[in-house]
Amino acid sequence: MISWNNMDTLASYKELLGLEKVNIASAMSGENGAERVKKYSVPMAAGLTYNYGAKAVDDRILDTLSKLAQEAQLTEKYEALYNGEMINTGEKRLVLHQLTRGQLGEDVIADGVNKREFYVNEQKKIAEFANKVHAGEITNEAGEKFTTVVQIGIGGSDLGPRAMYLALENWAKVNNTLKMNAAFISNVDPDDASAVLRNVDVAHSIFVLVSKSGTTLETLTNESFVKDALAKAGLDASKHMIAVTSETSPLAKSDDYLDAFFMDDYIGGRYSSTSGVGGAVLSLAFGPEIFERFLAGAAEEDALAKNKDLLQNPAMLDALIGVYERNVLGYLDTAVLPYSQALSRFPAHLQQLDMESNGKSVNRFGEPVNYSTGPVIFGEPGTNGQHSFYQLLHQGTDIVPLQFIGFKNNQMENDVEIQGSTSQQKLCANVAAQIVAFACGKDDENSNKRFAGGRPSSIIIGEQLTPEALGALLSHFENKVMFQGFVWNLNSFDQEGVQLGKVLAKKVLAHDTDGALKVYSDLLNI
């Protein structure tokens, strides 16, 4: 029997509050540090490793976190989720994004449909469509091949797919699997669509309109922008556009699209990269086989999240260490720092994933909680971030936990040796150095040059950023956010905080305003 209780009612959480804190600077110094790094490590899917040696935990804290996982019934709640129980209480919906990449448990029947079969069938339809485009069986009006795919969407219909495309673009070029270039239009700012359309050959572009409801204002506005550009070029928009939407949306049966592929309300936007939302653009860009490899990595990592042993469950372990940092150590933020240029937009995706999911102040039953919940997420790829905001991370008044991501090998298989080391070796040297510098610090008579240390971090390490590794990374963070929501007793799968601004924006556009809203509208000449 599953119980949904606030974290501050759990005995293990109260025990956690009373434990002695770990001095990371001392723990990570000398041979003690070497032993910690070797000991506090757990394998992930696709050859990745989660290492938490530089986190402010020890065996006592980990043992209590294990008790917290059991008392909060984390594995049982995950099992309930993937077996089709109604976990999204706010919208009274199932949560089934894991089913888009694998069957973790029982068949899930909803609305009279086997949902795993539904997602697989849609993926097959997308694969068949993509293969026909690549083979020249589906062409533009002149009988010429499409060379570019442009995704039109916002939020989860843009951030995840865009981050995944950028992550694999160079890998695909080297491995000769880049079938089509991809571009993305998201912002309702007309400069966004204008810039993309100026830089693509619209006559040889296929546009993917992504809107589950078929009513998303920004997306439909940008669709009109694209249709206008196609019309000005003398092209029939219906020969250049496909839709990814729900079966009940106005886009589903429209003659305005070459084809339509379906998702449902059981997959939230920020969790939709492994559904048709990511599947259409990634299959067109890289080929369906590469998308399947991406799904395989995610499925393998999802399976690891079932493990009841906390120390063998990387996503749950990462989640509970994050809870400890947020609620016991009192840290507000988490910085995601990928030492891989390919992951340049991955932190932006994780901002939405984490902050939209767990940016809540009421529990699953709508009651206020008396503890902190989701952290603020930010990040940039290294080494760029080192020359931007690391000053505050090293010497600022607030401690910010850090999540590094690094790979032993680059994607492009092109490098140079300068001053006795390659660029990739320099990149990896920087991330290793930063972990120790943040943890141990440095004393100095000059206070400006003094580093207090005690700044905790973890790192996910892989051989190379491949489709499987990317899928595993995505799953890891999705499941981390899910487990943290379970501990905090939140509904991590709705986003009511997004809605109020949309409602007021419609009032502004209808000139139905008064008070401050009218003044701001007038100032912006609306």
Alpha carbon distance 475, 301 (integer Å): 6
Rounded to a whole number of angstroms, the CA Rg of the chain reads: 24
Reported residue count of the chain is 526
Instruction: Give the count of beta carbons closer than 10 Å to the beta carbon of residue 374.
Output: 22
Alpha carbon distance 186, 173 (integer Å): 25
| C-alpha dihedral (53, 59, 61, 67), degrees to nearest 10 | 120
Torsion 117-118-122-123 (CA) sign: negative
CA of residue 482 relative to chain centroid, distance:
12
Cβ atoms of 88 and 493 within 8 Å: the answer is yes
Work out whether strand 109-110 and strand 113-114 pair parallel, antiparallel, or are unpaired.
antiparallel
Residue with tokens 């309300």: 265
> Is position 106 annotated as part of the catalytic site?
no
Identity at 281, one-letter amino acid code:
V
Work out whether strand 181-185 and strand 205-210 pair parallel, antiparallel, or are unpaired.
unpaired
CA of residue 13 relative to chain centroid, distance:
28
Q: Identify the active-site residue in 14, 21, 502, 506.
A: 502
> Is position 204 annotated as part of the catalytic site?
no
Q: Identify the active-site residue in 356, 380, 468, 478.
A: 356
Which tokens is 119 given?
């997602």
Rounded to the nearest 10 degrees, the angle between the axes of helix 314-327 and helix 59-71 is 100
Counting Cα atoms < 13 Å in the Cβ hemisphere of 405 gives: 27
Q: How far apart are the first and last CA of the chain?
A: 55
- What are the two backbone dihedrals, phi and then psi, of residue 110, each rounded to the nearest 5 degrees? -140, 140
> Is position 356 annotated as part of the catalytic site?
yes
CB-based burial label for 76 (10 Å; 0-12, 13-18, 19+): middle
Alpha carbon distance 116, 102 (integer Å): 8
Which tokens is 508 given?
């502004």
Of 96, 124, 121, nearest in space to 110 by CA: 96
Question: Element (H or E) spanning 188, and its range?
Answer: none
Which tokens is 73 given?
């019934």
Cβ atoms of 336 and 347 within 8 Å: the answer is yes
Bond preceding residue 383 cis, omega within 30 of 0: yes
Torsion 237-238-244-249 (CA) sign: positive
Cβ atoms of 381 and 390 within 8 Å: the answer is no
Alpha carbon distance 382, 34 (integer Å): 24
Alpha carbon distance 264, 277 (integer Å): 11
Which tokens is 462 given?
């892989």
Q: Identify the active-site residue in 387, 408, 442, 506.
A: 387
What residues are labeled active site?
Answer: 356, 387, 502
